[in-house]
Amino acid sequence: MYRKIYIGIDLAAKESRCSGIAVIDTELRLSNISCLYEDSEILEFIRDLTKGFDIVILSIDAPLRLAKGFRDVDKKMVRLGYRVFPPNFSFMKFLTKRAMRLLKSLFKLNIIVLETHPRSALLSSRCNSVFELLKVYSIVVPDEKMIEILQKSKDLSDAVIAAIVSLSFDLNNAVPVCDYRDCIWILKPLCNG
């Protein structure tokens, strides 16, 4: 049996700001939520975390390719009712370049990397909160402190949603919105909300 792990990253545009990282393990337990900062810190964390796993799926909240204006996939997302920014828009340019740098290193680690947009994924799931999503998948949150942190931190909540997108991809419950080059992964309707 394959050992799998699911990671979500809510990447910050600047290394001085919190990049939320969330990890769901094979037992469907939210095993880690962290704020990491520098690229080297993120890569070291992922390298150490993924040793011994056969399949690593990582969803990142950031465009993975620069473009002039909106990419075709961004236009599709907007037509579907999701609010996304183009990769060359102000702070998004820094975010996209950072994601592209990380992507090169992640591919070297044989990690499956997906682009996602947590706010859109939550909306497409029809769930009202990250907690409702966790409940749908019966993902165990090991302690009350984690719940308190998720209630206060948008960065970490978005990272958890991204990790759920990784899990959903593995379970064929993720939906790709694609153009000829790019895909943004969101979720199938999972709740009645």
pLDDT tens digits along 98-156: 999 999 999 999 999 999 999 999 999 999 999 999 999 999 999 999 999 999 999 99
Per the CB < 8 A criterion, the answer to whether 66 and 15 are in contact is no
Total domain count for the chain?
1
In a domain? residue 193? no
In a domain? residue 35? yes
- Predicted TM-score of the model (pTM): 0.95
3-state DSSP assignment of residue 53: coil
Overall size of the chain counted in residues: 193
In a domain? residue 192? no
In a domain? residue 133? yes
Would the pLDDT of 10 be above 90? yes
Per the CB < 8 A criterion, the answer to whether 149 and 156 are in contact is yes
In a domain? residue 51? yes
CA pair distance 60, 115, nearest whole angstrom: 5
CA pair distance 37, 18, nearest whole angstrom: 5
pLDDT confidence bin for 193, thresholds 50/70/90 = low
Which of 62, 58, 73 is closest to 23 using CA atoms? 58
- Please tell me the predicted confidence (pLDDT) of residue 70: 86
For residue 48, the domain's CATH number is 3.30.420.10
Give 71-87 pLDDT, tens digit per residue: 899 999 999 999 988 77
Report which of residues 91 and 93 the model is more confident about. 93
In a domain? residue 54? yes
The chain-wide mean pLDDT, for the chain, equals: 93
Q: Which domain holds residue 102?
A: 4-187
Give 124-134 pLDDT, tens digit per residue: 999 999 999 99
In a domain? residue 79? yes
